[in-house]
């Protein structure tokens, strides 16, 4: 994949992730969070299953792998993010959730033997500071903090599993079934923790369709494709853009105020992404020489 295509897809994917925050907040006025997210993923997974009907389905152990990725990627990440908001704000939850890139590097180093440069570690740390700046450093240690961290851990684990198991799947097939499994898991959680209801009107249906089609089918298909096509740590570094896009889209859609520290955070995020992804030209030239 050429660099222009790669960066264009990464920016589009993280923009979609960011917009999902205010859209989801609008949707929670018409349905409880677990039910809303469960409906989102079951609808998205069901639609994508029909779209990829002609492609090979998972076989044997692949079903368990798709189910595990779905529980981690869809159910646990979204479940922890929303449940943590009983104690912390949505911005604080986003900060914690998108520490995923640092956790990918840590877990990748421990469990897969991947080796990352000090510059990349510094870049991830700078990116995390940038996300914290974007939300004004309003973060404290509460039960929701640890619940949100569990979601981030699930996110990073799923990222590494997708990189490891992904080559055995068609990426769209994996995206379809993991969303379906994740949505079913969220329905089960909703049945035990919420009083299910859904207020049908033009806004609620539009929100649900956006979350199911754009924020699920399009987003997950692109994300899995990017993880399979490149280094998961480098790709995950761009997740720092998602909460920044969330702030900007919340300003546009909900009229939420943007403070000066959002600009500072945006600059730090860009610096962090640059440090994680930048490679010296000399190294690149040497690689091309060896390959030639």
Which residues 6+ apart lie within 8 Å of 32 measured at CB? Answer: 190, 194, 195, 196, 197
For residues 208 and 44, the answer to whether their CB atoms sit within 8 Å is no
**How many structural domains is the chain composed of?**
1
Extract the tokens encoding 192: 């035990």
Please report the DSSP string for 55-104 in residue order.
SPPP-THHHHHHHHHHIIIIIIHHHHHHHGGGTS-HHHHHHHHTTHHHHH
Give yes or no for residue 185 having a pLDDT over 80. yes
Question: Which pTM value belongs to this model?
Answer: 0.78
What pLDDT is recorded for position 84?
80
Q: Which residue has the tokens 């280094």?
A: 231
Strand extents, DSSP E, the chain = none
What pLDDT is recorded for position 100?
76
For residues 101 and 127, the answer to whether their CB atoms sit within 8 Å is yes
Which pLDDT tens digit goes with each residue over 14-67? 999 888 888 888 888 899 889 999 999 999 999 999 998 889 888 899 999 999
What pLDDT is recorded for position 38?
94
Q: 70-86 as b/e, with b when 16 or more CB fall inside 10 Å?
A: bbbbbbbbbbbbbbbbe
Domain that holds residue 209: 3-291
User: Over pLDDT 70: what percentage of the chain?
Assistant: 90
Which pLDDT tens digit goes with each residue over 207-266? 999 999 999 889 888 887 887 777 776 787 787 788 788 878 888 888 877 677 777 877
């Amino acid at each position: 994949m050429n660099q222009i295509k790669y960066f264009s897809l990464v920016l589009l994917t993280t923009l979609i992730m960011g917009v999902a925050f205010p859209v989801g907040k609008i949707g929670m006025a018409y349905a409880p969070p677990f039910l809303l997210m469960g409906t989102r993923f079951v609808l998205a997974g069901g639609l994508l299953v029909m779209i990829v009907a002609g492609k090979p389905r998972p076989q044997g152990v692949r079903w368990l792998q798709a189910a595990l990725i779905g529980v981690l990627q869809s159910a646990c990440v979204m479940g922890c993010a929303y449940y943590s908001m009983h104690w912390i704000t949505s911005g604080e939850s986003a900060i914690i959730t998108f520490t995923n890139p640092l956790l990918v590097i840590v877990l990748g180093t421990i469990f897969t033997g991947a080796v990352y440069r000090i510059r990349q570690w510094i870049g991830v740390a700078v990116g995390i500071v940038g996300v914290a700046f974007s939300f004004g450093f309003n973060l404290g240690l509460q039960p929701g903090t640890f619940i949100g961290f569990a979601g981030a851990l699930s996110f990073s684990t799923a990222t590494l599993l997708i990189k490891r198991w992904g080559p055995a799947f068609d990426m769209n097939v994996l995206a379809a079934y993991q969303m379906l499994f994740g949505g079913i898991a969220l329905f089960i959680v909703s049945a035990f923790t919420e009083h299910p209801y859904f207020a049908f009107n033009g806004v609620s249906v539009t929100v649900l369709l956006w979350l199911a089609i754009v924020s699920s089918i399009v987003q997950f298909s692109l994300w899995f494709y990017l993880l399979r096509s490149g280094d998961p740590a480098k790709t995950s570094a761009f997740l720092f853009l998602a909460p920044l896009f969330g702030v900007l889209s919340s300003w546009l859609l909900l009229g939420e105020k943007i403070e000066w520290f959002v600009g500072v955070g945006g600059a730090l995020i860009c610096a962090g992404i640059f440090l994680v992804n930048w490679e010296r030209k000399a190294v690149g030239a040497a690689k091309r020489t060896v390959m030639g």
